């Protein structure tokens, strides 16, 4: 064994023992069991509408994915770029407009039940003005994807490699409610890493069919310590 591999092998062994102990102690949620998880969210926010029909770029809301470990969920203020004006769906607005015309009055602002929840979170009143008696509180989105704490994953490096979000998250633009589409199991990470590590000089096919360009001598790591501290 050469001198530099010894610490790595040692680290791997102590890791396996350590993890074994952790798993024996607690009831660790195995992420692989979470495939298809599609929890009800506090506001009916539709990716089909926003990312699909309106064709909004994923990064316009999940800007963290390019800059940090976590993609993050956008703050409610970001939604107001549109929802300061869009207070209900277009068909409801048009119905009210037609009704108002027939009754010879000004159309009223109709606030839908779901968007009312957004305005409540921001402490806004019926006119969408700040109501000093209302408390602002963050929307408690239910987290869908969640790796165990002992795994290190970083969006930045994957996104910088040109991997599409859909490679790992599936057809989000057609999801009415967000759903976990990959197992997030170790074997899933490893399959892609192995595929990309096999030939370090060629461009490699990703499951979505895109290519990841790796420079000369660059490897996608399958070292235990890269994903486990
Ligand atoms: C680029 C503009 C834009 C942004 C930003 C945006 N939305 Fe929307 N949203 C729309 C439009 C347009 C519709 C209405 C689609 C329709 O007419 O059916 C809509 C519809 C909705 C609806 C359904 C409304 C109803 O009455 O059923 C909800 C809820 C919603 N958005 C929540 C959000 C949240 C939460 C955010 C921030 C995370 C957000 N939106 C960001 C444009 C936007
Ligand atoms: C208008 C803002 C907006 C856009 C555009 C958007 N998202 Fe989201 N995304 C959200 C919000 C808000 C949530 C949290 C609520 C939910 O789960 O639906 C979320 C949740 C998610 C989650 C689940 C997070 C978790 O808890 O595990 C994933 C994955 C995701 N988005 C991926 C995408 C992808 C991929 C795209 C582009 C195809 C995209 N999003 C476009 C606002 C957006
Ligand atoms: C190589 C696979 C992969 C790619 C590519 C990827 N993700 Fe993720 N994503 C994951 C994994 C794994 C998690 C769970 C991370 C955790 O629990 O720490 C996750 C979690 C998330 C979450 C919720 C937790 C968080 O990190 O804030 C959101 C939102 C999200 N991804 C959006 C996106 C968007 C948007 C893109 C594209 C710009 C993207 N992801 C690209 C694998 C990926
Ligand atoms: C679809 C392919 C794919 C999947 C799935 C994937 N990865 Fe990766 N991963 C890559 C590629 C390509 C790189 C090389 C990026 C680089 O070095 O520029 C990488 C690099 C990494 C790195 C090294 C980052 C650094 O700091 O050098 C870590 C850690 C990592 N991935 C963890 C994970 C984990 C954990 C999972 C599963 C939850 C996962 N990856 C799933 C393709 C993937
Ligand atoms: C590319 C990232 C990646 C690499 C490299 C990696 N793992 Fe993992 N490992 C994970 C993920 C993700 C999980 C959690 C998901 C799961 O339970 O499958 C995990 C879980 C584990 C577990 C918990 C038990 C289990 O299977 O549920 C052990 C033990 C483990 N890894 C050991 C190792 C060892 C030893 C190596 C080196 C030979 C290694 N890992 C390399 C990503 C990785």
Indicate which residue's Cα is closest to atom 2 of ligand 2: 61
Per-position pLDDT tens, the chain of length 229: 344 444 444 455 455 545 544 444 333 444 446 899 999 999 999 999 999 999 999 999 999 999 999 999 999 999 999 999 999 999 999 999 999 999 999 999 999 999 999 999 999 998 899 999 999 999 999 999 999 999 999 999 899 888 999 999 999 999 999 999 999 999 999 988 888 765 554 444 444 444 455 555 556 778 888 899 7
Ligand nearest 9 Cα, by number? Answer: 5
Closest residue CA from atom 33 of ligand 5: 224
Whether pTM > 0.75 for this model: the answer is: yes
Whose C-alpha lies nearest to ligand 2, atom 41?
58
Residue among 44, 97, 115 to mutate when testing ligand 1 (max atoms within 8 A of CB): 115
pLDDT in tens, 76-97: 999 999 999 999 999 999 999 9
Ligand 3 center from residue 71 Cα (angstroms): 6
What does 120-172 look like in DSSP terms, one character per residue?
A: HHTTB-TTS-B-TTSPP----PPP-----TT----HHHHHHTT--HHHHH--G
Question: Is the Cβ atom of 19 under 6 angstroms away from ligand 1?
Answer: no
C-alpha atoms less than 13 angstroms from C-alpha of 54 in its C-beta half-sphere? 13
């Amino acid at each position: 064994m050469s001198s530099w591999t010894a610490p790595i092998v040692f680290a791997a062994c102590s890791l396996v023992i350590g993890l074994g102990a952790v798993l024996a102690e607690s009831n660790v949620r195995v992420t692989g069991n979470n495939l298809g998880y599609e929890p009800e969210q506090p506001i009916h926010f539709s990716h089909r509408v926003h990312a699909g029909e309106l064709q909004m770029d994923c990064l316009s809301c999940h800007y963290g994915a390019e800059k940090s470990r976590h993609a993050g969920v956008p703050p409610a203020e970001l939604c107001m770029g549109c929802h300061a004006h869009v207070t209900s769906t277009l068909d409801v607005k048009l119905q009210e407009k037609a009704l108002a015309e027939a009754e010879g009055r000004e159309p009223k602002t109709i606030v839908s039940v779901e968007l009312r929840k957004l305005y409540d979170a921001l402490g806004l009143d019926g006119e969408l003005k700040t109501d000093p008696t209302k408390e602002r509180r963050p929307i408690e989105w239910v987290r869908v994807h969640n790796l165990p704490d002992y795994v290190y994953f970083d969006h930045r490096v994957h996104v910088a490699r040109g991997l599409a979000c859909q490679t790992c998250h599936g057809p989000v633009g057609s999801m009415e409610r967000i759903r976990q589409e990959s197992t997030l199991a170790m074997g899933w990470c490893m399959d892609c890493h192995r595929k990309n590590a096999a030939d370090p000089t060629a461009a490699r096919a990703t499951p979505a069919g895109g290519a990841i360009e790796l420079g000369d001598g660059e490897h996608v790591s399958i070292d235990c310590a890269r994903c486990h501290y």
